[in-house]
Structure 1
Amino acid sequence: MRFGAIRASDRPGGALLGLLVDDELRIPEGGRTLLDLLRDDGDAIDAFADDALSDPALRVPIAEASLASPLPNPPTVRDFMTFEGHTIGGMGRGDASAVAPAWWEIPTFYFTNPYAICGPQDDVPLAPGTERFDYEVEVAAIIGRAGHNLTLEEARSHIAGYSLFVDWSARDIQMHEMTIGLGPAKGKDTVSTLGPWFVTADEIDALTDSARVDLPLTVSVNGVRTGAGNLREMAWEFAALVSYASRGTWVMPGDVLGSGTCDDGCLAERWGRQGPDSAPPLAVGDVVEIDGGLLGRATHRIVASAPRHPLPGARPGAHERSTHHV
């Protein structure tokens, strides 16, 4: 099954959830959100779909719909880094020696901003102050049942479904802040796309062979193809990401786990392999289209950023003062 949402300013999360049937969304009474449905261990999803099929309150053709994210309010968003080609390209060298040894041992991730989720047709603002704005094409697994310290086998049953995910990145800000020794923060804090569809796990399982999902992903800028990858190039299956995320802690319904950028899924790979002038960064007015096959298509226009308010540098003497306190 596939679920999507349309704009509705008077509803929780600003959206009305519906079941995708052929070329329309069928929306039942009640105005339940995807997060509501996920918190019921899957039974509510089936009941919602039955209501949408048998007695929809609204039937909205996709061609006429203003689509929102099906999950605009996830509790957490973890974004992983699981594609070898992307990791090599993004490091600015053309071979695996650019990849840290630990990358091969654990599916590393960082937490990103759950309040920055946008829908698949929304304008995307530049991050304040950036001159190197980039897209990153990904797929996200969405948790459907709470779990703690899950084994690999247990983790599989905790994935309710999947969605197209785009991690929009201010590369110059990201690289500057990461010289401090922490992961990306403001460089990836402005906006992330989730949607258009939430696709239940059984549909993705049908594309899976030996834990690899054969799902092409493509991206274009202003009508010109700029990247193409495939989810089957992931170095870990999604169940491994869930198991690792739950190690010593909880994953909860609605949690989003991004795959990391697919091979050839961002401009930074081209910059890393061919030089920083090999492709222009995204600019105001650019139109970026991402095609995730059965996960749907996202189309975004890049718009101006919010103002960048200046901050003073760190105050001198903080270290000396801190040594006098425990």
Structure 2
Amino acid sequence: MKLATFSYPGPQGRESRVGVPDEQGLIDITNAAAELLRIRKGGTRARDVAAAVVPPDMIEFIATGSMALDLAAEAVEAVRTGRIGPWSSDDARVVWPADQVRLEAPLRPRSMREFGVYTEHLEHLGIKVPEAWYKLPLYFKGNPESVIGPDQTIRWPAFTTTLDFELEIGAVIGKPALNLSPDEAMDAVFGYTIFNDVSARDIQRAEQTYQVGPAKGKDFCNVLGPVIVTRDELGDGDLAVIVRVNGREWTRSTTGGMYHPWPRLVSHASWEESLVPGDLLTAGTVAGCCAAEYFLDQGRSPEDGLLAPGDVVEFEVEGIGLLRNAVGDRPDELSLDYGVPLST
């Protein structure tokens, strides 16, 4: 099942719901479930029961598990076969036309662990891979507060001149987990989404000379979307990916080639550290899928600049969809003076 978070204007501002994309627009699965229960059982509490079993918040929906998925699937099928119309019998909207809603990031993750497991990507950028990288799937913690969704503007922070994108796949945790073995790990994964790990390359390079993960170089903007696809629909195999900038194809690649596979990543993240529904694990940049690699192939140094204001970045991933965002304007002041150059 493909699951999206969408919003619409309400009396108290924008209201968010969980929906399933459809040819008609977006199916509000909570309202669809309420109408299905009303048809089956009658009574006056169908809406309350539906909100408990198929919550309108994505993380709550994920945490409800198979009960939510099963009832949502039945409700969506009832809409698609015409048993439920675009409006419920109590005048709640079941099907929203796409032009009346806005797709948001499918979830605001509870936490973000960002791995990097593509050897080819690191070597292409001239990064010396430490010995520990081959033994342990290393990661840093990201900033959930910086997450934006499809078609929202990528903010250009004041401290960088070299703004980059990175196409990654994110796994969303679906249930509490602790100290999982690799054989157990994938049962904790709810589904997958696309992740654009927007990067300030100059300050990132400076930060990582201290042998820590990036902070300011990554924390200002992360993009998720357009949907989460459940494992039962997408599977765990390799996916074809395409990167376009301003409508022109830059890269065509695949998510294959992970040195540490997903079971190892999930297992490692759970060692002596609880995972909870809504946590996000990302696998790192798919080989060839960042501007720095593209320009290196063109014989141009990344230090000469990467993205420009107004650039439109598109990630298309097999089975998940298209994630599109435009780059915002540069601030008037592009430097924060720390007294030392940040490009070394």
Aligned to 1:75: 110
User: Residue 174 in 1 paired to residue 175 in 2?
Assistant: no
Structural RMSD (CA): 2.6
Q: TM-score, normalised by structure 2?
A: 0.80
Secondary structure at the counterpart of residue 185 of structure 1: coil
Contact in 2 for aligned 1:150/1:246 (Cα 8 Å): yes
1:252 matched to 2:276? The reply is yes
Residue equivalent to 2:7: 7
Distance 1:109-1:267 versus aligned 2 partners, 3 A rule: same
> Is 1:19–1:49's contact at 8 Å kept on the other side of the alignment?
no
Q: Does 1:302 align with 2:303?
A: no
Structure 2 letter corresponding to 1:43: M
**What one-letter code is carried by the residue in structure 1 that aligns with 2:20?**
L
Question: Structure 1 residues 49 and 112, CA, compared in 2 at 3 Å: closer, same or farther?
Answer: same
Higher Rg of the two aligned structures: 2
Identity percentage of aligned residues: 30
Q: Does the CA contact (< 8 Å) of 1:219 and 1:289 recur in 2?
A: yes
Deviation at 1:61, TM superposition (A): 4.2
- Specify the code of the residue in structure 1 equivalent to 2:96: V
Task: Indicate the residue corresponding to 1:228 in structure 2.
Answer: 252
Quick check: 2:161–2:334 contact (8 Å CA) kept in 1?
Answer: no
160, 167, 189: which one aligns with 1:130: 160
Contact 2:116 2:139 in 1 (8 A): yes
Partner of 2:41: none
Aligned to 1:261: 285
Match of 1:46 among 49, 67, 70: 70
Kindly indicate whether residue 214 of structure 2 is the aligned counterpart of residue 190 of structure 1: no
- Structure 2: which amino acid aligns with 1:285? G
- Residue 310 of structure 1 and its aligned partner are, at CA, apart by 4.9
In the alignment, is the contact (CA less than 8 A) between 2:199 and 2:218 conserved in 1? yes
1:286 aligns with 2:287: no
Query: What secondary structure does 1:232 align onto?
Result: coil
Tell whether the 8 Å contact from 2:250 to 2:294 is kept in structure 1 after alignment.
Answer: no
Shift in Å at residue 12 of structure 1? 10
Paired residues of 1:66 and 1:121 also in contact (CA < 8 A): no
Contact 1:79 1:112 in 2 (8 A): yes
Q: What's the CA shift string for 1:22-81, capped at 9, x where partnerless?
A: 46321132561110111123322322333344346332344765311111x211011110
Q: Distance in 2 between matches of 1:279 and 1:86?
A: 20
Q: Do 1:79 and 1:260's aligned partners in 2 also have CA atoms closer than 8 Å?
A: yes
| Local SS of the residue matching 1:188 | coil
CA-to-partner distance for each residue in 1:71-116, whole Å, 9 max, x for gaps? Answer: 1x21101111011111111225xxxxx3222221111111111011
**1:324 counterpart residue number:** none
Deviations 1:187-223 (CA, angstroms, capped at 9, x unpaired): 0011111110110001222xx5xxxx22111111112
Pairing 1:86–2:110 present: no
Q: Which runs of 5+ in 2 are unaligned?
A: 32-50, 79-83, 87-92, 340-344
| Partners of 1:152 and 1:239 within 8 A in 2 | yes
Q: How many residue pairs were aligned?
A: 302
